[in-house]
Structure 1
């Protein structure tokens, strides 16, 4: 895609930001498993971690998501870009779905409004990291430079 920056000067910063999002998800998930130990997997109770509602199921999901982001960040080679973009879209869909079902019995991950805000915000940060972390050849970088709008 011509509008996606290739070899952006700040790509190491964006890659590190993506890694920090993954690390946050892993830490949140581990703390969530500790806090919800002994409860049902999809329990709807008052379990909170870092001020956010969670349950054992969502905690395990965040560990898997965070681990996938961290593995992609460690490998690089544009794998992190693909993982960050796809997981960002998936997290946006999850956040919007949970927002729609927040006060109903369909709130299977025990989201609170703060959990939803954090998930949607981190999905946008992850998408930004995916959009600016692309690495390519010098020819691809030159094509991107020629395609962008210069004012």
Structure 2
């Protein structure tokens, strides 16, 4: 994409922020697995972790997504950029769907408002990390700079 910066000066910081977001997802998921152990996979009960509603299924999903983000961050080489961007979109869709189904039987992940807000913020943070973490050659950087100056 021509509008995505290449070799941004703060790229290592954005990569670290993406990794910390993945670490948060892993910690939240692990605590959720512990708190909802023995419950049904998609139970709709009052299980809270860090003030956020969860169940065993959502905790497993959070752990899996966090591990994928951490693996992408460890690999680098623009793999983390693609992972962060796609998982950001996924998290935002899940949070919006959770908001739409909040007080219905379709709330299969047992989300509450705080969980929806945290998921949306995590998605936006991952999207930001993905947008500013791209690495490229000097030619790609020059092409990006020329493209952004065209009005």
Taking structure 1 as the reference length, the TM-score comes to 0.98
Unaligned ranges ≥5, structure 2:
none
Per-residue deviation, residues 75-134 of structure 1 (Å, max 9, x unmatched):
000000000000000111111111100000000000000000000011000000000000
How far apart in 1 are the matches of 2:13 and 2:50? 26
- Number of aligned positions between the proteins: 151
Partner residue in 2 for 1:62: 62
Partner residue in 2 for 1:78: 78
How far apart in 1 are the matches of 2:57 and 2:38? 12
How far apart in 1 are the matches of 2:3 and 2:33? 41
Partner residue in 1 for 2:124: 124
Per-residue deviation, residues 15-50 of structure 1 (Å, max 9, x unmatched):
000000000000000000110111101000000000
Partner residue in 1 for 2:147: 147
Poorly superposed stretches of 4+, deviation over 3 Å: none
Structure 1 residue 69: Cα displacement? 0.1
How far apart in 2 are the matches of 1:72 and 1:122? 16
How far apart in 1 are the matches of 2:10 and 2:150? 19
Give secondary structure in 2 for the equivalent of 1:148.
helix
Per-residue deviation, residues 39-72 of structure 1 (Å, max 9, x unmatched):
1010000000000000000000000000000000
Structure 1 residue 149: Cα displacement? 3.1
How far apart in 2 are the matches of 1:109 and 1:149? 45
Unaligned ranges ≥5, structure 1:
none
How far apart in 2 are the matches of 1:149 and 1:141? 13
**Is 2:36 aligned against 1:42?**
no
Matches within 5 A, 1:84-123: 84-123=84-123
Taking structure 2 as the reference length, the TM-score comes to 0.98
Partner residue in 2 for 1:138: 138
C-alpha RMSD over aligned residues: 1.1
